[in-house]
């Protein structure tokens, strides 16, 4: 090690330990800042952790594959976290059962809007077909959206980026936008952000209000079901 100061870096930069630590440390710092600003929407911890780690990878010339070898342990937990949504759902079952009809109607309207709006806008901007297909499932959670994208022969890693960007924008916009509309029904506010901005929106909703978080979680799970059925349909009818 003392012979060559770079040999330690060469060893560490290839090990999952370094990149897992970098992911957790950066997020912990970004989350601390978010907490210090009393959860200001622009202090979104995902957004800031993302660009800081991204810049670090570019500066050190580390490939995403090497990074992901460490970060995959965090990424993996997306699945179990989806299962875990059963618990807040169970604990608020009476409130959820009472709102089942408005939820299903809002789900249909929101899910269709999320897909159709992005496809039509992308066509209006004249984006290439491959890009439109990859962006179509952007409102559902990363794992599901990547699956949909794969079945359309689009680029799943591009879909993941569209999904995360959508989630961050939704999480930043939702509170000011909803305050502007004057709607104070936290069930409706949570449900909307769960449909539009999946898990990142749900995480934001839990920060604002527990009921909003529960409804966001339900919306995100229901939307995962509906969108997997709707995107292939929408693509058939809208993308030429």
Partner 1 sequence: MIASLSLILLCQLIGEVTVRALAVPVPGPVVGLLLLLLLLLARDQFPSLARGPLANDGVEGASRGLLANLSLLFVPAGVGVVQKLDLLAEHGVAILAILAVSVIVTLLVTVATFVAASSLLSRADEEP
Q: How far is the CB of 11 from partner 1 (least distance, A)?
A: 22
> Which C-beta is closer to partner 1: that of 133 or that of 219?
219
Q: How far is the CB of 2 from partner 1 (least distance, A)?
A: 33
- CB contact at 8 A, 214 and 90: no
> Which C-beta is closer to partner 1: that of 5 or that of 128?
128
- CB contact at 8 A, 45 and 23: no
Q: How far is the CB of 95 from partner 1 (least distance, A)?
A: 12
Could you please report the per-residue DSSP string of 142-177?
Answer: HHHHHHHHHHTTS-HHHHHHHHHHHHHHHHHHHHHH
Left if phi > 0, otherwise alpha if psi is -120 to 50, otherwise beta: which for 39?
left
> Which C-beta is closer to partner 1: that of 7 or that of 72?
72
- Nearby residues of 230 by Cβ (< 8 Å), 6 or more positions away: 111, 112, 115
> Which C-beta is closer to partner 1: that of 18 or that of 217?
217
Q: How far is the CB of 4 from partner 1 (least distance, A)?
A: 27
């Amino acid at each position: 090690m003392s012979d060559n100061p770079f040999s330690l870096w060469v060893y560490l930069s290839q090990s999952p330990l370094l990149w897992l630590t970098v992911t957790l440390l950066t997020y912990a710092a970004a989350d601390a800042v978010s907490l210090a600003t009393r959860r200001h929407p622009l202090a979104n911890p995902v957004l800031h952790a993302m660009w800081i780690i991204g810049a670090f990878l570019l500066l050190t010339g580390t490939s995403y594959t090497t990074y992901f070898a460490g970060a995959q342990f965090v990424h993996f937990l997306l699945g179990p976290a989806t299962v875990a949504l059963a618990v807040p759902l169970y604990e608020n079952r009476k409130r959820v059962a009472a709102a089942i009809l408005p939820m299903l109607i809002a789900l249909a309207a929101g899910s269709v809007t999320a897909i159709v709006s992005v496809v039509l806008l992308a066509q209006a901007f004249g984006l290439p077909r491959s890009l439109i297909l990859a962006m179509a499932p952007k409102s559902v959670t990363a794992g599901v959206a990547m699956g949909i994208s794969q079945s359309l022969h689009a680029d799943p890693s591009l879909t993941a980026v569209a999904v995360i960007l959508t989630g961050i924008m939704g999480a930043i916009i939702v509170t000011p936008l909803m305050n502007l509309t004057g709607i104070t029904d936290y069930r409706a506010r949570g449900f909307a952000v769960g449909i539009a901005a999946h898990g990142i929106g749900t995480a934001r909703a839990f920060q604002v209000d527990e009921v909003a978080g529960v409804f966001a979680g339900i919306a995100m799970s229901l939307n995962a079901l509906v969108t997997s059925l709707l995107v292939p349909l929408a693509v058939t009818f809208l993308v030429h």
